[in-house]
Amino acid sequence: MLKVIENVGNSKFIAIVTDAETAMQLAKRKVMNKYPHIMAIRCIAHHINLITKDIISIDWAKEILQKCQKVISFFHGTHRAGDALRNKIRKFFSKGSLKSSVKTCWSTTWDIFSEQPDIFINATKTKAIIQDRQFWYNVKQLKLILKPVKSALEFNTTTLADCFFELLKMARAISEIPSF
């Protein structure tokens, strides 16, 4: 990092952005000691991803995601129901399909919540999940928590201030969840 700063010229830098890895912390300290005018800033996107990973690791969120995955697996694994669902999606939505959650890509978790076609009512194997009002309430709550993350990281024009504002929205959504 120091070599790059020296090659480009330290007067052209006002800040460096890194994640929280130990090696990066050491590099930031070296830069700040040598060039006190250069601020060391943690990567907000990295921290938002870490926060989101922690949220979806909570048992409550894991249970919601597992139930969503059961519904999705049913429609993916049952040709007739899956075909009926795809037809409904094409008819009522301009784009979309059922997406599975991917552990390495939390944004697919968000995509699971984006549509709730009426075809779900007709499923038999997933009927208990689909008809459980608490399940849909919990989906709504988790969606409210994750929506600010999606907003903060989705656009190329997002600023650091936007990220902090979205984190405040996330904190508010979390604080509004009733205790279990």
Domain count across the chain: 2
- N-to-C CA span, the chain: 47
**Is 29 found in the same domain as 105?**
no
In a domain, 122, yes or no: yes
In a domain, 84, yes or no: yes
In a domain, 117, yes or no: yes
In a domain, 180, yes or no: no
- State mean pLDDT over 50-79: 86
**Is 82 found in the same domain as 144?**
yes
In a domain, 70, yes or no: yes
Structural domain including 148 reads: 47-175
Helix or strand (DSSP H, E) at 164: helix 160-175
What digits encode the pLDDT tens for the residues 107-117?
555 555 554 44
**Is 158 found in the same domain as 69?**
yes
Mean pLDDT lowest among 46-50, 125-129, 145-149, 156-160: 125-129
**Is 101 found in the same domain as 157?**
yes
pLDDT of 2 strictly over 80: yes
What digits encode the pLDDT tens for the residues 50-61?
888 888 898 999
**Is 171 found in the same domain as 89?**
yes
**Is 70 found in the same domain as 35?**
no
**Is 13 found in the same domain as 87?**
no
**Is 148 found in the same domain as 78?**
yes
In a domain, 56, yes or no: yes
In a domain, 155, yes or no: yes
Of residues 33 and 150, more confidently modeled: 33
Output the six-digit token pair for 156. Answer: 């190329």
**Backbone angle region of 54, left / alpha / beta, with phi > 0 → left and psi within -120 to 50 → alpha:** alpha
pLDDT of 17 strictly over 80: yes
**Is 73 found in the same domain as 19?**
no
What span, in angstroms and rounded, lies between the C-alpha atoms of 149 and 133? Answer: 25
Residue 51 neighbours by CB distance under 10 Å: 15
**Is 85 found in the same domain as 36?**
no
**Is 52 found in the same domain as 38?**
no
**Is 109 found in the same domain as 68?**
yes
